[in-house]
Amino acid sequence: MEEAKAAAKPTVYLTFDDGPSQQTKEVLAILKREGVKGTFFMLGKEVKRYPAMAKQVVKEGHAIGNHTYDHVYAELYGHFAVFAKQVMDTDEAIFQATGVRTNLVRAPGGTYGNFDQGYFDALAKAGYIVHDWNVDSGDSKRVGVPAKEIISTVEGSKLSSKVVVLMHDSSIHGESVKALPEVIAFFKKKGYQFAVLTDQVKPIQFRLAETLKWKRAKVTAAETQSLAQFMARTRAKPENSAPKPQSLVLHAGDAEMTFAPEDYRMTNGTIEVPLRQLVAGLHGIIRLDMSNGVAEAVVNNQSVSWTASEVGGSGKSMPSRIMVPLRDTLQRFQMIINRIVATADKREIWAGQSSI
Ligand SMILES: [Zn+2]
């Protein structure tokens, strides 16, 4: 029951377009004070101007979206190639400033009357998610809309269980900052939870207009492809897709030793470690009888021997590096593995004296 209730809690996504700006700091301070997160659809050129602000937005747990580079409608909606280029340039600018790649896009002016199906399709095919809104705070209806009017516009809006509020973050929107605390208070009072837009949030998108505001050529396959290629290239993470090399840390009684990723190997679930390093770590001694091809190690007063052929040598010649299976070898030294924990950057093993 409790879960069902939680899931049914209405959610509001506050979105701030056109920043970052000199006001972002104040917006962030209010959000922090109120304990809520928002989504900032940034312009590439403003990210270049205020990279530290963009970074702080991310650091404080808010989401970033792409709002094109310069917001010039006639350019963006005159030709899809320009829109795509601005999205890519902004993607890069945001990444340079924050280390984040965002797939969220908001069309300047919204998609209605600006996007045709080709715009929607090309962006979707590349993997961008286009978000319009369903509550317009009206803060950019004209210059200098007073805070009071912004608040009453929001409060007078039809609210669904999922609300995406359009607000602005730019130097001409000081009134939006003034209105923000009351806008937040309003949604809190209505029982809304606040969240940031992510790739998992189904976007609100306006329907297609019957007639566009612009005359332009159709989006071409080449334009679609070049955007998709940009995404494929920038989202490929070779360093993350290959498993990161992990060190192996062994705690055995009061001994502790670390095997570098290149100093141990895992074959079919069996961990093999260099005998020399293991014995040294366990405060034991090792003797090599080269004439007979035998290695002997003494640990905990237990003497264990290996013949050359047991450790991958041939005849009586020992390999230059003797690798032994860890679990088995510890057992022969009267120790057992109690616990293995693997994290992103290391494997950690705890072993102790076996009771028998
Ligand atoms: Zn905008």
pLDDT tens figures, 42-58: 999 999 999 999 999 99
Q: What pLDDT is recorded for position 66?
A: 98
Q: What pLDDT is recorded for position 354?
A: 79
**Distance from the CA of 60 to the center of ligand 1, in angstroms?**
22
**Distance from the CA of 169 to the center of ligand 1, in angstroms?**
9
Amino acid letter, residue 83: F
**Distance from the CA of 299 to the center of ligand 1, in angstroms?**
71
**Sites in the chain below the pLDDT cut of 50:** 1-6
Q: What pLDDT is recorded for position 320?
A: 83
Q: What pLDDT is recorded for position 121?
A: 97
Domain edges within the chain: 2-235, 247-353
Assign a CATH topology to domain 2-235.
TIM Barrel (3.20.20)
Whole-angstrom CA distances from 64 to 10, 40, 110, 121, 205 are 22, 5, 17, 22, 18
DSSP class of residue 206 equals P
Tokens linked to 43? 């312009």
Tokens linked to 143? 């210059």
| Alpha helices (H) in 156-237, listed in sequence order | 174-189, 221-235
**Distance from the CA of 207 to the center of ligand 1, in angstroms?**
19
**Distance from the CA of 146 to the center of ligand 1, in angstroms?**
18
**Distance from the CA of 69 to the center of ligand 1, in angstroms?**
10
**Distance from the CA of 73 to the center of ligand 1, in angstroms?**
10
Helices 51-59 and 80-98: angle between axes, nearest 10 degrees: 70
Q: What pLDDT is recorded for position 1?
A: 41
pLDDT digits (tens, 9 = 90+) for 4-15: 444 578 999 999
Q: What pLDDT is recorded for position 356?
A: 56
**Distance from the CA of 170 to the center of ligand 1, in angstroms?**
9
